[in-house]
Amino acid sequence: YQKISRSNKESWIPEITELGSDERELVDAYLSFEMWHRLRDIQGLSCETAQAAILKACSRLLFSRG
């Protein structure tokens, strides 16, 4: 399942393939159900706030490469 999930993420967001292995692992973690569960159920964030947090984290990692 995780191999399929990672492959799907890379096809939906091709910039992931340009990252180093450590950064790819971070993106995979940011986009995981476990992260969503933690933000929503454990930390109590609203859906909108959790979405914004994940988007911000991924965007910084993917697009701050200079």
Q: Taking the complete model, does pTM exceed 0.85, yes or no?
A: no
Distance CA 64, CA 40 (A): 26
Low-confidence ranges of the chain (pLDDT < 70): 1-4, 65-66
Contacts of residue 10, defined as CB under 8 A and 6 or more positions apart, other chains included, come to 16, 17
Structurally, the chain folds into a number of domains equal to 1
Q: Give me the count of residues in the chain.
A: 66
6-24 tens-digit pLDDT = 788 888 999 999 999 999 9
pLDDT confidence of residue 5: 78
13 Cβ contact list (under 8 Å, min separation 6): 27, 58, 62
Question: In the numeric block, which tokens belong to residue 51?
Answer: 């979405």
| Structural domain span for residue 37 | 2-63
